[in-house]
Amino acid sequence: MGWSDILVPSLMICGLFGVMLVVGIGFSYLWLVRLNKEATKCPGCGKRGAGELAESKVIDSKAHWEWRTHSSLFRQDVRRVQVTEETFEDHYECQYCGHRWTKTAQWTRTTPEKKRTRR
Ligand SMILES: [Zn+2]
């Protein structure tokens, strides 16, 4: 039994995993592009991916505090985080027919409370 008996199958397995990884990334990328094109479909002429974001503004913003528990092996932390819900109004313009339309999107983000520095 030589080195090649182990090396060749393991290289094949590595290669297989590599191909699977690349195919997986490729598929999710294509899916994202498709989603994006669907999202920017022009209501005027029906062309996919025609809409260009001309303007985006926040029309509503709500914030509240929430307690979140962070557990680790040694201790448990309870931290206060600020949850901000923002509503955006996106203005799109079609590259082909010039049709303009608006879309609203919601975005939630959390920001942890800043640690107080002791003096
Ligand atoms: Zn159009």
What distance in angstroms lies between residue 94's CA and the mean position of ligand 1's atoms? 5
Residue 75's domain comprises: 3-112
| Residue 117 within any structural domain of the chain | no
What distance in angstroms lies between residue 100's CA and the mean position of ligand 1's atoms? 8
Q: Pull the structure tokens for residue 37.
A: 């094109």
d(CA 38, CA 9): 43
Comparing 37 with 54, the larger pLDDT belongs to 54
| Residue 38 within any structural domain of the chain | yes
What distance in angstroms lies between residue 59's CA and the mean position of ligand 1's atoms? 25
| Residue 96 within any structural domain of the chain | yes
Q: What are phi and psi of 17, to 5 degrees?
A: -65, -40
d(CA 89, CA 57): 5
Comparing 90 with 112, the larger pLDDT belongs to 90
pLDDT 10s digits, 44-87? 999 998 999 999 999 999 999 999 888 888 888 888 899 999 99
3-state helix, strand, coil in the chain (%, to 5): 30, 45, 25
What distance in angstroms lies between residue 35's CA and the mean position of ligand 1's atoms? 18
| Residue 63 within any structural domain of the chain | yes
Q: How many domains does the chain have?
A: 1
Please list the residues that pair with 82 across neighbouring strands.
65, 111
pLDDT of residue 115: 67
Does the pLDDT of residue 37 top 90, yes or no? no
What distance in angstroms lies between residue 28's CA and the mean position of ligand 1's atoms? 27
